Amino acid sequence: MTGIEPYDWSEMTPDMLLAHMAGLAILQKKITKALDGAKRQYLRTHDADSPRENAVFAGLDAATVLVKRDGEGSYKVDDPLAYADFLSHYGLDCEGQPAVITVNYPTPNAMGERFLERLIREHGGEIPDGVKYQPGRSGGVTVTLGKGIAEHAFDSAELSRLAIEAAV
């Protein structure tokens, strides 16, 4: 064990490891569903003006529960070009100044992957200002539960055993 992992998975057969990943994913989904339900129940009697409360579990002061206030919304420009077209169309100004400016902007083709690769290759590998290399996403393991599998009536003792083994 590396000290980072709470459980030594290296001693398991591939089938056991797969079974544990599936079981833990089921347990995670069930726990999330249960916790969400408990939070909904808590919100029935508490709001953001309620004081934080300490939650005791197994005789230990285990957590603090606090209801957070809803955040206030605000307007943000998510498409500056469409917004500039709107401002320009209506001839609007902003505090006595023009609300739009004219700028050089690359065409969609000039921003395409094939053009950028060719441009960089033809310029000795030099990356132009305003362009960055974005590495691909790292691979990993995904556990996707079968439809309805988390709602199946699994033996809770078996799921508990998996959680306990993983958390030790």
- What does the pLDDT look like over 3-56, one tens digit per residue? 456 678 888 999 999 999 999 999 899 899 889 999 999 999 999 999 989 888
Instruction: Give the closest residue to 66 by CA, choosing from 79, 83, 54, 78.
Output: 54
CA nearest 149: which of 157, 164, 159, 141? Answer: 159
Q: Which two tokens stand for residue 40?
A: 């909904």
How crowded is residue 162: how many other Cβ atoms within 10 Å of its Cβ?
19
Q: How confident is the model at residue 147 (pLDDT cuts 50, 70, 90)?
A: confident
The sign one gets for the Cα dihedral 111, 115, 120, 122 is negative
Are the C-beta atoms of residues 100 and 87 closer than 8 Å to each other? yes
pLDDT digits (tens, 9 = 90+) for 42-75: 999 999 999 989 888 888 888 889 999 988 899 9
Q: Residue 96 and residue 93: Cα distance in Å, rounded?
A: 6
